[in-house]
Chain A
Amino acid sequence: MSSVKSVVISCAGIGSRLGLGQTKALITLNGRSLIRWQLELLKDFEDIRIVVGYQANDVIKEVLKIRKDVIFVYNHDYFNTKTGASFYLGAKDANEFVIEWDGDLLVHPDDISKILNANDEFIGYSDIVSDEAVFVKTNNKGDVLSFSREHGDYEWTGPACIRKSKLQFTRGNVFEQLEPYLPMKGLRVRAYDIDTYDDYKRVELVIKEWRNL
């Protein structure tokens, strides 16, 4: 299925909650930009689409240092939209199946292949670690039954894979695009959202253990 998949990395946001004054793709983690971490983890995947908005030129410049075959997708209305809009724009002219990958998400290297090689649509979730998580409720098979702002079994982090024809434009969040299709297969991964400064410091500690990268 990999030949009919695209990865959409959403890097258009202004990173306001993190408070480091730049879009999250450009924040530095142990000496590397976050987008470099992501692209190195996805180095063997062909169709990578990066949605840019705030600081687009800086993100593009950083990406081109790493690889030239990325398709950049513009979300010109990044200030008034959230990740759902970027995912839609990145997915609408992509391959049949699209893997949503937030620009502020770091996935454990050992979980990358099971994400890219999963045979069906899925919703990725992790153990609860973030400060401002959206939660998922699951059944005993690990399928995702619902999203919640209040409580749940795991943290919704993504990535998620879905057939692109199912996506509708929204100014809101990705999980709201997925809600109409619940229940969906769940995929438990080690993934870390970086929404706040505490998330950022936590992830810096986590990746120090990733010796092989």
Chain B
Amino acid sequence: MKFIFDLDGTITAQETLPVIAKKFHLEKEILNLTNETIKGNIPFVESFIRRVHVLGKLPVSEISDLLSGVRLHKKVLKFINDNKENCVIATGNLDCWIDKLSSKIDCICYNSIAKVENNKVVSIEYILNKDEVVNKYKGMGEEVVFIGDGNNDMEAMRISDISIAAGLIHYPANSILTVADYLIFNEEALCRQLNQLL
């Protein structure tokens, strides 16, 4: 059994890109892109590139420090830490921004990769495709449970053995509700379901 978690809004109790935008007073540009992406109105890859274009000029080390302080869902974190061999994270977020944040979560993290020079993101080298993570573990004979909330989780959820739409900080994207097996709005209930699946 392998539990694959989306990061933003599923493990974190805040979406991370708006946190960066707020800190650097770029809320208007980023919030609209984030909301439209969650709803599925802008394709994830396009939105991600546009958001990185805006935020990539900011100092990487400051962003990494900032995100290391993002609030986490404590019960979800405990489940992951208690079952670290069975859990992985799949996030489109950049390695250089979430390195300190992901080090607080005791499991493997799959993420997008940026090229950094002079403490700035100069290019995106790789954008994580979450369904590749699902296929990797299915190919290893694992039964895969995917937990996510955004439109960019849809294909991964569709091909997973069990998919859980999590509405812990916002209503999940409508697109994933067409493929989800479960829909859960409460952290205790989510962890109850995860433990039932173990």
**B182 interface residue (CB < 8 Å to A):** yes
**A64 interface residue (CB < 8 Å to B):** yes
Residues on the A chain within 8 Å of B65, using CB: none
Q: Which of B139-198 contact A (CB under 8 A)?
A: 162, 177-178, 180-186, 188-189, 192-193, 196-197
Partner of B189, one of A56, A69, A89, A93: A69
- Asked whether, in the complex, the Cβ of B192 is within 8 Å of the Cβ of A47, the reply is yes
- Asked whether, in the complex, the Cβ of B189 is within 8 Å of the Cβ of A73, the reply is no
Q: In the complex, what's the smallest C-beta–C-beta distance from A154 to chain B, in angstroms?
A: 33
Whether A60 touches B196, Cβ cut-off 8 Å, given contacts A76-B178, A93-B162, is no
Q: Which residue of B lies closest to A68 (CB)?
A: B186
- Asked whether, in the complex, the Cβ of B182 is within 8 Å of the Cβ of A73, the reply is yes
Residues on the A chain within 8 Å of B196, using CB: 93-95
- Asked whether, in the complex, the Cβ of A72 is within 8 Å of the Cβ of B178, the reply is no
- Asked whether, in the complex, the Cβ of A74 is within 8 Å of the Cβ of B186, the reply is no
Residues on the A chain within 8 Å of B197, using CB: 93
Q: Which residue of B lies closest to A6 (CB)?
A: B196
Residues on the A chain within 8 Å of B193, using CB: 71, 93
Q: Which residue of B lies closest to A72 (CB)?
A: B183
- Asked whether, in the complex, the Cβ of A69 is within 8 Å of the Cβ of B186, the reply is yes
- Asked whether, in the complex, the Cβ of A60 is within 8 Å of the Cβ of B183, the reply is yes
Q: Which of B120-156 contact A (CB under 8 A)?
A: none
Give bound CA distance, A81 to B183, whole Å: 20
Q: Which residue of B lies closest to A61 (CB)?
A: B171
Give bound CA distance, A69 to B168, whole Å: 11
Q: Which residue of A lies closest to B194 (CB)?
A: A93
**A39 interface residue (CB < 8 Å to B):** no
Give bound CA distance, A70 to B185, whole Å: 8
- Asked whether, in the complex, the Cβ of A71 is within 8 Å of the Cβ of B192, the reply is yes
- Asked whether, in the complex, the Cβ of B183 is within 8 Å of the Cβ of A74, the reply is yes
Residues on the A chain within 8 Å of B184, using CB: 71-72
Interface residues of B (CB under 8 A from A): 162, 177-178, 180-186, 188-189, 192-193, 196-197
Interface residues of A (CB under 8 A from B): 46-47, 52, 56, 60, 64, 68-74, 76, 89, 93-95
26 A–B contacts, CB within 8 A, in A order: A47-B192, A56-B177, A60-B183, A68-B185, A68-B186, A68-B189, A69-B185, A69-B186, A69-B188, A70-B186, A71-B182, A71-B192, A72-B182, A72-B183, A72-B184, A73-B182, A74-B177, A74-B181, A76-B178, A89-B181, A93-B162, A93-B193, A93-B196, A93-B197, A94-B196, A95-B196
